[in-house]
Amino acid sequence: MSFDTSRIVSSDEELIQNLQENNLLKRKAEDALFNRYTYFIKEGIKKYALQEDESFDAYSDTILHAIDNIRKGHFENRSALKTYLYRIFINKCVDLLRKKTTNKNSVHQTSSIPDMLMLIADPAKTAVQQLIERMDMDALKNRLQELGESCRKLLMLFADGYSDKEISVLMEYRSADVVKTSRLRCIDKLRLLYNVKRNSDG
């Protein structure tokens, strides 16, 4: 099949290298990583009595979490990639089981909030966390849609791991500095939209 990318990258090293680069192979490497261990899904069904959809969710979240960590250089090759993924997968399955029994959901939370908060120590971290918890995320998502095409593109590319320099090439900006300034203006604009709406609602 033309889209079977598992044959394109063979070793863990190659796969990790391709995941870390913003080129054509990056997306293929993501698909190859996903395809390589899909049998974990069956394990989730057998060992943790999860439904197939739940086990699929746990596995997808595992892959996304791993990709994020690999890109950030947090995967240190101390264990084989498979072992590393399996450990994350088990944790996701346990999270799901907990969710099923206690109605708490942590499996669908993305890793970004904890990751960024890890860069702040307590008590500042707790202060920011409390402020985040008070925010209306649905409203923020809606305001993001109102932001305008080019702003959304800028923010999405940056969140997807592109550097300002790479974005400047993709979106034909004059320089990385211009991208950065524009990107920050977009966040300011989004904040303004969010606050105006909140004030008018409140």
Partner 1 sequence: MDNMEYIDNYFNHPNTAEQKQEFEQRIIHDVSFAEEVAFYISTHNVIKEQLQIQQKERFRELYEQQKEALPRKQPVTQIWRYAIAACAIVAVMVLSWMLVSTSSSPEQLADAYIRQNWKTLDITMSSEPDSLQFGLTLFNAGKPAAALLQFETIAEKDSANFSAKKYAGIAALRQFQYDKALFYFSELAKDTTLHSNPGKFYQAVTLFKRSGTGDIDAAKKLLQEIAANDLEGSKEAKQWLRRLD
Chain contacts with partner 1 (rule: CB under 8 A):
1-3, 22-28, 30-31, 34-35, 38, 41, 56-57, 60, 63-64, 110, 112-113, 116-117, 119-121, 123-124, 127-128, 131-132, 135, 137, 140-141, 144, 149, 153, 155-157, 159-160, 170-172, 180, 183-184, 187-188, 190-191, 194
d(CA 164, CA 192) in angstroms, rounded, equals 23
**Which CB sits closer to partner 1, 92 or 183?**
183
**Which CB sits closer to partner 1, 34 or 75?**
34
Min. distance of Cβ 67 from partner 1 in angstroms? 8
Min. distance of Cβ 139 from partner 1 in angstroms? 10
**What 8-state DSSP symbol labels residue 72?**
T
d(CA 190, CA 145) in angstroms, rounded, equals 10
d(CA 93, CA 200) in angstroms, rounded, equals 42
**Which CB sits closer to partner 1, 74 or 79?**
74
Min. distance of Cβ 164 from partner 1 in angstroms? 9
**Which CB sits closer to partner 1, 97 or 140?**
140
Min. distance of Cβ 153 from partner 1 in angstroms? 7
Alpha helices in the chain (DSSP H): 12-20, 24-36, 40-48, 52-71, 81-102, 112-117, 124-134, 137-145, 149-159, 164-170, 176-201
d(CA 12, CA 155) in angstroms, rounded, equals 30
d(CA 94, CA 154) in angstroms, rounded, equals 36
Min. distance of Cβ 73 from partner 1 in angstroms? 12
CA-angle at 122, arms to 116 and 124, nearest 5°: 70
